Amino acid sequence: MPLSDLIGADSILPHLKANGRKQALQEMCERAAIVSGLREREILDVIIQRERLGSTGVGNGIAIPHAKMEKCHRIFGVFARLERPIDFESLDGQPVDLIFMLIAPEGAGADHLKALSRIARLFRDPSFAARLRATRDPAGLYLMMAQHDTSNAA
């Protein structure tokens, strides 16, 4: 599943200012509600519930919060590039500055796992992460993600 199928240009927050994990997640859930038509509070509730199971901070300054929702009809994401790294209780103890939130329908099963795997693989690429950190404008960030899909298509 190409990343451009999961995220649109309107799903990118290029300069998110947050003092902590909860604030960052709230801001991202607000944007998720706008792009999906789902209720912000319901998105935040499932994301926070998932975070209680263990942090989705995967290391190297990257977090991939994710959850499934009953009322969700398609897999979608929201990406944020933080102005200042925040503590996310990541596996490596490092603060996070790149967050890709993924929301999927309750019955997404394998598609949800494939999307998570795709995001994790892409964001673990140090050169891709460095380019995301260096790019400030939402259109540029979206284009970078969309172009990466085409350049790596098999």
Positions marked active-site: 66
Tokens read off for 23: 């604030």
Burial tier of 146 (Cβ tally within 10 Å: 0-12, 13-18, 19+): middle
Pairing of strands 62-63, 96-105: parallel
Measured in degrees and rounded to the nearest 5, phi and psi for residue 124 equal -75, -15
90, 96 contact by CB (below 8 A): yes
Residue type, 109: G
